[in-house]
Structure 1
């Protein structure tokens, strides 16, 4: 009897061992990049449900669906470290992001985020969303709620309340705090205020990302300020969309990267994210002195002749020395609600159209008029290619689009909204060869996931979530341009989010499989 039982057990185990593994999806023969910066290997990936359940070489197997990825790169889904998700309620599938290969997007940058964050995330969780979404809490949003756009320090009671807002947002799942110290009202915040709020985020494992106080002539001081915040608040820092703006600052990335390296030698945790373009995008108001906008009294101030002269002088200085790039043709309009015919045109074009002399002084007058009309989105062609490449190659640089969710035909967005990640892979890796493919993928995936404290996304490994982007390294490229931005990229063959096809054979599936990801919550 004992021998029979042993034989039965052996037969059962042999039968079990001979069974082919069963998957929902198998990706065969692709060059798999784990996301940690190591070279790609030709492997098979098995997916069951929303997880990667096999990584290696499969023999016999069963699968509901098979992708032959021969000649294709199989990477973790890309993580966008800086996304303007403000239109997400109107564009929940976020096609402009997902078609780039993005499977996780970090929102709430530059100091602006929804408040209260908890109820907003609850709303998103009830929706069908395209990519996975994570959020930061915005310092500007909090400051505006308590102080408005006024240039003053918070009282002790107000600061305590602002700290409470950060604490509540962190409990709701925020990944940290963002600041926009170039913009109202963050520009009025003293260093002590920013450190106090950052300490609250740090206490719950959060990070600090900052649109620096200056990215032009004051860039070096602004980087030093961010490093001081990291030191005093004991918080990891991201210099977001890091750049050197304005002709006079071209080459300054040598100094800023040296500051980052020095900070690391002192034990501080400083990183950067970057978009791969030589033009930035923000409002026309960035050319206007902050004091002139304070308290919403811009119109009142420009109607005062003495103040208007000072405002105009400040704008002229910005055009010559900062985002204006010392050329009216470098200032290009994106979204102009009050005159759609200006979208895609430059400040030079507008002045000439009106029959005026295109001088810098006249340009300042038109900037004032644009602000009085309600403002406009503006693209500033004021960066140097060498700075872009130097920053991109730094080992602490991640990729973030800084793009706003976009739909074809709506406005004239910066092309980064459609092309950031394919541009890095196609233009900077394949064509310019400034870094290899595995390094670029690491900057889009594993490095970003590590910054966010995520261990099961941004990597291809057994047990990780099945967020995967499959692309053709020989053809992947951005197609969006500054003249014609509404163009989806080429070469992104498949995008898999939580085990489901968001893009299949290059076609967007019009379905959302993303999830809201809250820090420290399952």
Structure 2
């Protein structure tokens, strides 16, 4: 099957350019696309009837962390993404990448024990070329476009210390990032709620942004705050909402440096943050109107996965882990947390432990901190602190109330929005539903709410995303482009996940081709691996 050619017959082609759909045939030959006249006979191609089905480019997930699973050859972990039509992933986000750090750093254990430590073993390389060699040795199930993480690069100098980098280390860090960009990384990612990115000065960030601009690449940023109050700005209940301050800071960074800015997973965490949505979008629109190059990405669910320690204020992050044993500090933290939760509009019942990363709370994976407190007769705050302590702050959560469901169509139709999953498989506990059904859900939301046309939705998933990240010969159905293709039923496509079944397969996806290889046929995985390409920029 690997060397077979295919012709997709009588399909409704949505080509990824936002042009109107049309009926036609698509020939998949030698890993490339060829548009042919309807009814053209091709003797050496297997025919697939696509009558009443949509043929479109493969979906591009513009914010993924699956690089950490690719380096350990865990191909089965890519199955749910292929099953929802994803053919290309932009990886290395939020300051995390499995390359781009100082050789022989004493802080390698911190780099290896990242957010995705279950995804890989030891890392025996340090640069982009070493990482590429590792991926090439295994192959990759999907196409990977790689960003270099500022966070891991900075960690290799100072660990998780809150101390500012000295000039010598800063200059060396910039050289390492430049090397990664020269070797083929598509840009740099920042993680400004994670250690050590949270401790970076604006001057440091400007220097990174200027480097990215000079190289003509992209800067993606996990912002300092996504809620009206947070631990990364001074607490002032009557001041500008922190999520708007974070957007202002990033827009200023893009304005000052001219860098192409991608705001990662634009969230509105907590009920009290939801009313800021229109103002946030207005600020982004004004920036775009002024010629500032800024876009953002979103997922279609009202929850998302991240580290539990992102709930902590910066002063606690700086004192980890010893500060968790300080009784007075914990009293202060409890007061601040209770106030912040009240003012933001979230509670302990909204904090679901996806992976406790410790034996003491492993049995409670999938339950909220509120539920665990009731089951153990402990206070929710004590549960929070104990999980952080026992897991060495490596526990992961699914935080609910990221959006109100009515906000998602509003975000989808904004001209600057792109789509992504920000999801990865958990070895135990509850799964992030976006890993299984994000792109079908985007499509069904567009269909059911009419916030976007079919053509507009596909454009954001494919052609616009490819243009944003400078993916050559991908994201469009056109002669000579790589044969990354999805065939689906527009009337039936839907996400089937639920709180009780977070790993359900979506409906309506019939066929998926990656570089001409049939990875899904008749809604069944074919195990055509490796099918993807390691893409250099």
TM-score, normalised to structure 2, is 0.87
Is contact 1:498–1:514 with CA below 8 Å preserved after alignment? Answer: yes
Residue 178 (structure 1) aligns with = 189
1:419 correspondence with 2:437: yes
For the 8 Å contact 1:50–1:498, the answer to whether it is kept is: yes
1:415/1:481 contact within 8 Å kept: yes
Secondary structure of 2:384 counterpart: helix
Aligned to 2:469: 452
Structure 1 residue 118: deviation in Å?
Answer: 2.2
> How far off is 1:64 after superposition?
2.4
Which secondary structure state, in structure 2, belongs to the residue aligned with residue 231 of structure 1? helix
Aligned partner (choices 164, 183, 191) of residue 153 of structure 1: 164
8 A Cα contact 1:247 1:321, kept in partner = no
Q: Which of 360, 365, 379 is matched with 1:343 structurally?
A: 365
- Per-residue displacement from partner, 1:51-87 (whole Å, max 9, x unpaired)? 1122443433323211110011101000000111122
User: Equivalent residue for 2:399?
Assistant: 380
Structure 1 partner of 2:8: 27
Instruction: Render the CA deviation track for 1:398-435: whole Å, top value 9, x for unaligned.
Output: 101001145xx733121011110011112x02223322
The DSSP-based 3-state class of the residue aligned with 2:44 is strand
* Aligned 1:57-136 pairs, distance under 5 A: 57-85=38-66, 86-88=68-70, 89-92=72-75, 94-115=78-99, 116-136=127-147
> What residue number does 1:465 align with?
482
Would the alpha carbon gap of residues 431 and 166 (structure 1) be closer, same or farther in structure 2, given more than 3 Å must change? same
Tell me, in whole angstroms, the C-alpha distance in 2 between the residues paired with 1:210 and 1:53. 37
Superposition misfits of 4+ residues, deviation over 4 angstroms: none
User: In structure 2, which of residues 14, 18, 22 is the aligned counterpart of residue 37 of structure 1?
Assistant: 18
Contact 1:184 1:290 in 2 (8 A): no
2:257 to 215, 218, 233: 233
Corresponding residue for residue 8 of structure 1: none
SS in 1 for 2:23: strand
Q: Determine if the alignment matches structure 1 residue 517 to structure 2 residue 500.
A: no
Question: Please, what is the CA RMSD of the aligned residues?
Answer: 1.6
Is the Cα–Cα contact under 8 Å of residues 112 and 141 in structure 1 kept in the other structure?
A: yes
Paired residues for 1:44-63 under 5 Å: 44-63=25-44
1:363 Cα deviation (Å)?
A: 2.0
Alpha-carbon shift at residue 482 of structure 1 (Å): 2.9
**Counterpart Cα distance in 2 of 1:243 and 1:435:** 20
Q: Partners in 2 of 1:371 and 1:96 — Cα distance?
A: 30
Structure showing greater Rg: 1
**CA deviation string 1:346-395 (max 9, x = no partner):** 11111110124xxxxx3222211110110422111122223322111101
Q: Report what 1:220 is aligned to.
A: 244
Q: How does 1:405-444 map to 2 (within 5 A)?
A: 405=425, 410-426=428-444, 428-444=445-461
SS in 2 for 1:195: helix
- Residues 61 and 461 of structure 2 are in contact (CA less than 8 Å); yes or no, is this contact kept in structure 1? yes
Shift in Å, 1:317: 3.3
Q: What is the aligned counterpart of 1:303 among 298, 320, 325?
A: 325
**Quick one: distance in 1 between partners of 2:165 and 2:282?**
34
TM-score of the superposed pair, with normalisation by structure 1: 0.90
1:354 matched to 2:376? The reply is yes
Displacement after TM superposition at 1:166 (Å) = 0.9
Q: Distance in 2 between matches of 1:468 and 1:180?
A: 32
How far apart in 2 are the matches of 1:326 and 1:102?
32
Alpha-carbon distance in structure 2 between the residues aligned to 1:317 and 1:510 = 51
The secondary structure found in structure 2 opposite 1:28 is strand
Structure 2: unaligned runs, 5 residues or longer: 100-126, 229-241
Separation in 2, partners of 1:153, 1:52: 51
Contact kept in structure 1, 2:247 and 2:280, CA below 8 Å: yes
Change (3 A) 1:248 1:385: same
Equivalent pair of 1:80/1:102 in contact (CA under 8 Å): yes
SS of the residue corresponding to residue 371 of structure 1 reads: helix
Matched residue pairs, number? 485
Are 2:411 and 1:400 equivalent residues in the alignment? no
1:265 corresponds to: 289
CA distance, structure 2, for counterparts of residue 481 and residue 418 of structure 1: 11
**Post-superposition offset of 1:514:** 0.4
Q: Name the CA distance, whole Å, in 1 between partners of 2:191 and 2:74.
A: 24
Residue 328 of structure 1 corresponds to 348
| 1:419-474, Cα deviation, whole Å (9 max, x unpaired) | 10011112x02223322211111111011000011241000001111000111111
Q: CA deviation at 1:290?
A: 2.5
Worse overlay, 387-396 or 496-505:
387-396
Distance (Å, rounded) in 1 between the aligned partners of 2:325 and 2:263 = 38
In the alignment, the residues of structure 2 paired with residue 147 and residue 76 of structure 1 have an alpha-carbon distance, to the nearest angstrom, of 43
1:286 aligns with 2:310: yes
Q: Is the 8 A contact 2:324 2:389 kept in 1?
A: no
Report deviation, 1:284. Answer: 1.5
Match of 2:154 among 138, 143, 146: 143
Q: Quick one: distance in 2 between partners of 1:344 and 1:448?
A: 33
Conservation of the 8 A alpha-carbon contact between 1:35 and 1:75 = yes
Tell me the SS of whatever aligns to 1:423.
helix
SS in 1 for 2:221: strand
Q: 1:311 is paired with a residue of what secondary structure?
A: helix
**SS, match of residue 505 in structure 2:** coil
Structure 2: how far apart are the matches of 1:130 and 1:490?
A: 21
